[in-house]
């Protein structure tokens, strides 16, 4: 079975843990310690390929510790998470995206998916679809709007990433 390492990155409180745990355990985390960092494993099928994913849910203090660099070096694919209810969380995604390309030596084929979370919180939404669509078009990255609470489009994120990783890292 193919094995891939996936790193979930983004600002604190955007919903990284809720997204990860919804994907791995199919439950919604109402509250979760923001400082907990944990690696999960799940088998997934995409395009007829079965893959075992190790998903690292990071905890957010990385920019101060240099840990990001270690994670990015070890990661095969990246989920960049921001909250649709927090416009400021978009900036962190842009920083992370640039960090990834720099650390991966300018490899623009590195598998990345951009995720806007908390789609169910309609009245709290701060990031319009137009804003994010023009950003991801400029970045050339796939984008999904999700709700970990409602389980909307969560699997799509990881399936897209697996397809990218299969293409980027062919088996011999």
Query: CA-to-CA distance for 102 and 85, rounded, in angstroms?
Result: 29
Q: Does 86 bind ligand GDP (CB under 6 A)?
A: no
Q: Does 24 bind ligand GDP (CB under 6 A)?
A: no
- Burial status of residue 136 (CB atoms within 10 A of its CB: 0-12, 13-18, 19 or more): middle
Stretch that binds ligand GDP, among 12-20, 43-51, 95-103, 137-145 (CB under 6 A): 12-20
Query: Which residue among 6, 7, 17, 165 contacts ligand GDP (CB under 6 A)?
Result: 17
Q: Which residue, 17 or 99, has its beta carbon nearer to Mg ion? A: 17
DSSP state of 99: H
| Chain centroid to CA 152 | 15
> Judged by CB under 5 A, does residue 17 bind Mg ion?
yes
The strand pairing partners of 98, in sequence order, are none
Q: Per DSSP, what are the bridge partners of residue 113?
A: 79
Q: Binders of Mg ion: how many residues, by CB under 5 A?
A: 2
Draw the binding track, 117-156, toward ligand GDP (x: CB under 6 A; -: no contact): xx-xx-------------------------xxx-------
From residue 26 to residue 55, the character string flagging contacts with ligand GDP as x (rule: CB under 6 A) and all else as - is ---xxxx-x---------------------
Buried b (16+ CB within 10 A) or exposed e, 32-70: eeeeebeebebebebeeeebebbbbbbbbebeeeeebee
Which residue from 7, 17, 9, 157 is spatially nearest to 75, judged by alpha carbons? 7
Nearer to ligand GDP, 2 or 152 (CB): 152
Contact residues: Mg ion, CB under 5 A: 16-17
Contact residues: ligand GDP, CB under 6 A: 10, 12-18, 29-32, 34, 60, 117-118, 120-121, 147-149
């Amino acid at each position: 079975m193919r094995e891939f390492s996936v790193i979930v990155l983004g600002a604190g409180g955007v919903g990284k843990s809720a997204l990860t745990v919804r994907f791995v355990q199919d439950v919604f985390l109402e509250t979760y310690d923001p400082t907990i960092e944990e690696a999960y494993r799940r088998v997934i099928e995409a395009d007829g390929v079965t893959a075992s994913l190790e998903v690292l849910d990071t905890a957010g203090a990385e920019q101060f510790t240099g840990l990001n660099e270690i994670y990015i070096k070890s990661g095969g694919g990246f989920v960049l998470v921001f909250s649709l209810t927090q416009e400021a969380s978009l900036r962190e995604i842009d920083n992370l995206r640039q960090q990834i390309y720099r650390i991966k030596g300018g490899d623009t084929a590195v598998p990345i998916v951009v995720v806007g979370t908390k789609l169910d919180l309609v009245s709290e939404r701060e990031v319009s679809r137009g804003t994010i669509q023009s950003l991801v078009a400029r970045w050339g990255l796939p984008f999904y709007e999700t709700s970990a609470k409602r389980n909307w489009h969560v699997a799509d994120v990881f399936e897209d990433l697996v397809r990218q990783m299969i293409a980027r890292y062919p088996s011999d």
